[in-house]
Structure formats: C-alpha cells, structure tokens
Structure 1
C-alpha cells in the first residue's frame, strides 16, 4: 500500500520539541583544549518529537492535526512557523519553555547534543478533547512531557472506536488498553519489560513483543529493529518485516516516520501487516534521503511536482533520492516501463534490480504515453493506481512518471549508475543505453519470467482464460 499519500485525517497527540543541527567540518583541535573546532558552521531547524511525526505525515498531503503543548516562548514560535500551514495546531497549555535539542554535527556525525527547556503540558483544552473525540485515526507520540497524560481519559474512551497507534517513551505512561498498534524500538521494548532478556536475536524480540501485547492489552506491537526492519506480534504469531536495504545515513527521526506512516495506513484501512510493511519502507526511504537533515523540505515549484494534483506521486522525491544516494557514494539503479498489469515478471525483475545498488527508482510511462505506445484501450490501470502498486513493493524506493514515448529526459535528470530492463529486450532496443555513457552509467538486462506480459494478461483476462 502507498505509505505517504493517504486521505484519512490523522490527529497526532504528543510532545512537540524544537530540533536544531549545527553542522560544519572539524579538521583541527582548539589550541586551548583537545576538542575539535567546527568550521563553516550552519544552522538547520526542524520540528521535533510529536511535531516531526505530524510534519512527516502531512508533507505527503494527508490532513493532520497536532495536539501538543505550545506557548509563546521563542522555541514554540519557531515550531509553529515550521508546521504552518501544513499542520493544524491545537495547543495545550505549556508550563515553562518548549524543550530544544541541539546536535553539533561534524562530517555528518553528531559530536555532542545540547538540551535546554523543561516545559511540560500543564492541562488540556476543550479544542483538544474535541479533536480526539472526532478523530478517525490517532497517533500518540509520547516524549514523556505530559501531553499523553493530559488526554489519557479521552484516549482510553476512544481506543476501541478509532484507529489508535501509540509510540511510547520509557519515561512515559503505558499505552491505553485497546490500542491498535504500539511501536517501541527494540531497546525501548527491553526497558519496558524491566528485566534482563538475553540476546538480541529475533526469538527474544518476538518473546518480548508478545509479552508487551498481553501486559498493555494492545491488539498488536511492532518492535522496530533499525536496519533489520520490524517485528509485528499479536501475542501469538510474530511477523518479521525486513527492510529492503540497509542505509548508513542519519536515522534520527526514523521512528517518528515509522509511527506516522503506520498510523496513517491503518487509518486508511490497511491491515496491521500492510501498515508495518509500508512503515518499514517509508522509514528506509527517510534515512536514504538524508534523514533528519533533510526532513523539512522547502515548497517545490510547480514544474518539480509529479503528475496529477492529488499528490499521488512527486517526481521531486525520486530526483532528490538519486542525488542523495550519489552524494553518499551509493549506486543509483533505475528501471523503466508501463507496468500496466503488474505480474511476476515485473516483480522478479524489480527485485533483482534493487539488489544491484542502494536505491531503485522506477521511471513510469504516463497514461498518454502508454496510449501512444499500446493503443487507445490501454492502460488498463490509470497512472495513480500504477504508482500506488509500484510504491507498495519494498524493492521500489521511488517512482517518477514521464509523458514522452521513451524516458531519456527523466533518465538525464536521474543520472543513474545502472539502467535496467527485462531480458525480453536487447541493449540495442534501449534508447537510453547510449546516453548513460555520458556519466559512466551502464545499461543491463536481467532475466525475465518467460510467458508473462501485461498485454498477454489483458488478452487472457478478456477471453476468460487462466494464466498458466
């Protein structure tokens, strides 16, 4: 399922923070102490905590309301400015100044973190109670600063009547009984158990998750395992959802991305397993695209937006992902096609392609392009549906649509290291092959599942015949 572009409104209840990165280069030590000197320092602000979860859920077009303690102190005003107009704010009373977390970064790695501000939610408000009472889906992003406690009664009364996801904090209270999904990290899950649990193997993680399901009276617990993915438990049968690839980037905020994506997908009607799959994929993309350092994006000019006004796809995401992976020294893989009726041959080829490099971007013919190539009866599936199906595959990191008959223009923008086609083509039939040599790229063919094609599927379906 699509993990970022749902339409069900989401209410995020939790503790907002202001996050700041001071980034520079450290190539020498100070003369008066053995500490690094940060040169060329730049400052980058972003919403943190529950505010980051709300921002990440909203930036794909989902209506999001944030219920959090915000005041009139400088940090609160900065968070408000960062969130508006993407997120509707319902403030709770704040006692003190909004907490700030500052990371000093050198060479892409944190050197030290500075915390200030001890503000906490000091009560509730009628608008906050109404927001929770009328919510179709709620995410509690608990950072142990009082917001979840202030609305615990309202959350408990709504737990069985709405989609409730709880991202817990070891210093916060437990999720209310009846929560649909709880999303602790592996380390947090062990701390919630409160005793020595042995190794870090999957059997231990499954046992901990099952115990938390029972003790919290939750429908499910998804323990996030970092680069390994996530383990989902309903108390009996655990389901491991592996990450499609391992990224070595900045993982700060990946948990907020995971929880926000899972809550949105569950609100849209996904099953828990589908929601966790989408959340694992979204968190992986978040890290691959730069993580916290690029979490807050500037508005895109119209020419950089994807096809359609409904937010189904954003071409910029694929272009930006390719740039990030190249900058990190990774390998960008791209594949092209109509992908009208997705079949086993497509999936096999895309899975193989993803294994070649560090990201896979699919270049997708638009509806008008498909009609020119395949005839007036095609495509069978319109562009938004084809994008949604492709993005649901864990092996696909981004989708970029194009209107031309062939993808040379979009390939020139992506500049992939590897361009992939199924083995039913030849390199001579690939007009993109020659242009890749301009930047040292390579066109390759991958084995194809024989006898599978969208055209053949459509013909057999119309005739009422089975695919052998």
Structure 2
C-alpha cells in the first residue's frame, strides 16, 4: 500500500512528560583493569542528546512539525544543556524547575559501538512531588490551545503525576492524546486517544498472549475498559498491531533492515504518529508511518531521530530520495548535528561502482552516524578525466550511491574540488582514500579549523575504475 507523506509543517504537537539528558562517552578499550575484571576505556569523545520526552519532541521536530516540550528539570548544567539542544532543533522548551531534584541524566559508556555500562543520575518523584504542580498545569493549558495533538511521555519519573487531569483537559478541547504507558496500572490513562505499549508491557497488564488472535482479543477488552480509541502494540521483529474501535485489527510487518540499537524506538513511533495525525493523516496511515520510522531508527546508535528525508527514502527506496541538492543537504546536516549525530563526508567521481568503492564507503560509514558522499558533476569529470568520461551521467551515479545501505545522502558539486561544499557542510570527519597526506585533501583547512578531523583511508588493492574500463575495452 502506497503512503503519501503529509505536510508536517502544518502540524503543531505538544509533548509533556519526563525529560532527561542522555550523555555518551566513547572510547577505545584494549585491556582489562588490574583492579577488577572490567575493561579499561580511554575516553576520546563525548556527546549529549535530549532523552525521554525530549527525544520524543526531537523526533516530532525532525519531521518538520512545530513542537513544544513541557517537563521538569533541576537547577543545574544538565538542564541548560538540555534546553540548548532542544532549541537548536526548533523544539521550544517550557521547563518547570525543581529545587530539590536534579535533571534526570543517563550516562552511557561505549567502546567499538558496544555499550559497556549505563549510569543513571536521578531522583524519582514518586508520591513526594518536588515541583510546583500548579505551575505545570498553568503552562499546560495555553500550550494545549496552540497544538493539534498531545503526547504524554511517561517514563515513570513523576512528572505526569496528574495525568488524568491532563487527559481530561485535552479531551474537553478535542485534542487527541497519545501515551506510551509505563507500569502495570493503566487506569490513570483512561480516556486517552491511543496507547503505544510494546508487547511485553501489554502482557504485563493483560496476561500472556498465545497468538495474534489472543493478542487482539485481550487488547480489545483492555481498550474498551479504558475507553480508548485505539491501542498500537509494537512487537519488535514482528512489527506492530493496531487495535482500534470500529475497524478490524491491522498487523504491519517490521521494516527494519538491520537492528542495531532499539533505544528510543518507542519514542520514534509515538512521535511520528503524533506528527502525522496533527498534519491530517488518518490513524491507519499514521501507524504505517510510525512503523516505517521505527524500522529506520533501530539501525542507529542510541537515542536518535528520523528526518522527513529518511522517511521518504524508506517509503520510496527506488526514488533516489537520498539524493539531495545543496540546500536540502545543509538542512539535513543541521538536523543531524542538533540530534548529536557524528557526520562523515567523502567525495569522488564514482563513475563505475565496484567492490573497492563499496568496501571504502562501508569503512567510512562505520566511523560515524551519517555518511555524505559528494560527487563530481559531468563537466567536472570531463575536466579531470578527459572528454570520454564519465561513462555514467551524474544522476545515475548519484542514484547508485544512494541505493547503498552505508550511504545516507548524496549531492553533486561542479567545481574541480569539493572545498567550497565541504566548507559549508563542515563534517565532523572528512575521509579520502589513497596515499594523500591529510593536509593535501580538499577541505582540510575548513574542517580542522572547525574542530573536525581529516583521515586517509586505505584503498583496496586490485580495484580501480580506470582498470575496469581498460579491461572492458579489450
């Protein structure tokens, strides 16, 4: 079934709930500590990303929707980092200060893309609410009037202590309320529009589901008991199931190409649902988009977002939507950088793709979260290679590159070198294959002056476009 992306810029979404800061320490480990049987990690990079409800808000905003975020933070540096990260991506934070509790922070230590440990810094509110509940409600009401859909992001940290009131106020104003539920007592969520539990969370409430039919029966009974319009159950590699009032159950298969990290996948599903509904999609189409977005985000490291461009490319893999003009590329880079992604960039002619190219690009992609390939246009190739080149015109070369799983975005440049384009993108890591010295690579000065790195990758012996052409000519 073909799905059209709605105009997300028409949508306004309010995300209210538990917000947190996700911190990442990256490093190499090559030995075991003499003090205990644990690896020693030499930290060489740090990142901070909005998490919890803030990650939901970033997922909404990354699709192009106007986004407001309401939550509770401490009076500390983590709160300032969280606010600045949100604002950088166009999310408007509305934070209530807690004088007694710190901003919830989760620190993850990773080596070679494997998480070794997670450290949590938090004080769960519980029954002793340590923030001004009236202040939260007073901020909620005008934001409710300005939005089309409400997401209540519950991580069980205490911000949604008055969740029943928040649902009631939204229903009185005709605003759909979406909730990713926590715990086993879902009675406070009564009257919400839609809940998005995963299968284990649902089974903790309704009991073990023997098969799909049993799942539907138990979910439908729960839906009626809680007076919900629908339940969307995420089922990992088995996709999602929508159980909605007045329509047959809808089971959608997973679209994940490769599961790398499930952190935040539920955030992506509910955020995409909310943005799509606020932009005018039907519930069924919104669920299809949410399922598609989940398949993208599980292939990324840590809490991550999905852009409109990635979603469009996933829906239409043959349409070459990973091919962007320069302005669209810069917008995609801005969103990726605000989400804390490490951007890798390379360039070349890529006239006849061969396995050497593939191995090189795969190695480049492994060095970051997003790989951009800049391609010489046809006139530029003729100036560099002679009038008989290229064999393949730039649209075909770009489409082939965009079809590789390791390549995120492809763009063209017309100059003899990509120095100007690289100076606009300013990747975190610029790579080039060959026997260059880093300072000889076009873009070196701009990237290093911006704090980035330039690295030379090895070519794979025995593969070259020129050699293939000469061999074909006999």
Task: Give the aligned partner of residue 302 of structure 2.
Answer: 292
CA distance in 2, matches of 1:326, 1:248: 21
Unmatched 5+ residue regions in structure 2?
126-130, 308-323, 347-357, 366-391, 408-462, 469-474
Task: Give the aligned partner of residue 242 of structure 2.
Answer: 232
Q: Structure 1-normalised TM-score?
A: 0.63
CA distance in 2, matches of 1:322, 1:211: 52
**CA displacement at 1:261 relative to structure 2:** 0.4
Asked whether the 8 Å contact 1:6–1:264 carries over to 2, the reply is no
Superposed, 1:162-311 pairs within 5 Å as: 162-170=175-183, 174=187, 176-193=189-206, 196-197=207-208, 199=210, 201-234=211-244, 237-288=248-299, 290-292=300-302, 295=305, 304-306=326-328
CA distance in 1, matches of 2:33, 2:120: 23
**CA displacement at 1:23 relative to structure 2:** 2.1
**CA displacement at 1:55 relative to structure 2:** 1.0
Asked whether the 8 Å contact 2:124–2:158 carries over to 1, the reply is no
CA distance in 1, matches of 2:97, 2:85: 19
Aligned partner of residue 298 in structure 2, secondary structure: helix
Task: Give the aligned partner of residue 34 of structure 1.
Answer: 37
Aligned partner of residue 47 in structure 2, secondary structure: strand
Superposed, 1:12-27 pairs within 5 Å as: 12-27=15-30
Q: 1:249 to 1:159 in 2, by over 3 A?
A: same
CA distance in 1, matches of 2:74, 2:120: 18
Task: Pick from 131, 135, 138 the counterpart of residue 150 of structure 2.
Answer: 138
Aligned partner of residue 232 in structure 1, secondary structure: strand
When the two structures are aligned, how many residues end up with a matched partner? 342
Superposed, 1:66-85 pairs within 5 Å as: 66-85=69-88
CA distance in 2, matches of 1:315, 1:92: 27
Superposed, 1:35-54 pairs within 5 Å as: 35-54=38-57
CA distance in 1, matches of 2:302, 2:281: 27
**CA displacement at 1:303 relative to structure 2:** 6.5
**CA displacement at 1:175 relative to structure 2:** 5.4
Asked whether the 8 Å contact 2:21–2:105 carries over to 1, the reply is yes
Task: Give the aligned partner of residue 10 of structure 1.
Answer: 13
Aligned partner of residue 147 in structure 2, secondary structure: coil
Asked whether the 8 Å contact 1:142–1:172 carries over to 2, the reply is no
Structure 1 position 90 matched with structure 2 position 91: no
CA distance in 2, matches of 1:243, 1:268: 24
Q: Structure 2-normalised TM-score?
A: 0.62
Q: 1:281 to 1:152 in 2, by over 3 A?
A: same
- Residues 247-271 of structure 1 show CA distances to partners (whole Å, capped at 9, x for unaligned) of 2211111110111001111122222
CA distance in 2, matches of 1:270, 1:294: 23
**CA displacement at 1:178 relative to structure 2:** 3.2
- Residues 39-73 of structure 1 show CA distances to partners (whole Å, capped at 9, x for unaligned) of 34422210110001001111232100001112321
CA distance in 2, matches of 1:74, 1:315: 23
CA distance in 2, matches of 1:74, 1:418: 36
CA distance in 1, matches of 2:274, 2:359: 31
CA distance in 2, matches of 1:248, 1:32: 35
Unmatched 5+ residue regions in structure 1?
333-403, 420-435, 442-468
- Residues 316-345 of structure 1 show CA distances to partners (whole Å, capped at 9, x for unaligned) of 99xx8999x989969x9xxxxxxxxxxxxx
Q: 1:245 to 1:287 in 2, by over 3 A?
A: closer
Asked whether the 8 Å contact 1:4–1:57 carries over to 2, the reply is no
Aligned partner of residue 23 in structure 1, secondary structure: strand
Q: 1:169 to 1:440 in 2, by over 3 A?
A: farther
Asked whether the 8 Å contact 1:174–1:216 carries over to 2, the reply is yes
CA distance in 2, matches of 1:282, 1:418: 18
Q: 1:214 to 1:328 in 2, by over 3 A?
A: farther
**CA displacement at 1:3 relative to structure 2:** 7.0
**CA displacement at 1:150 relative to structure 2:** 3.5
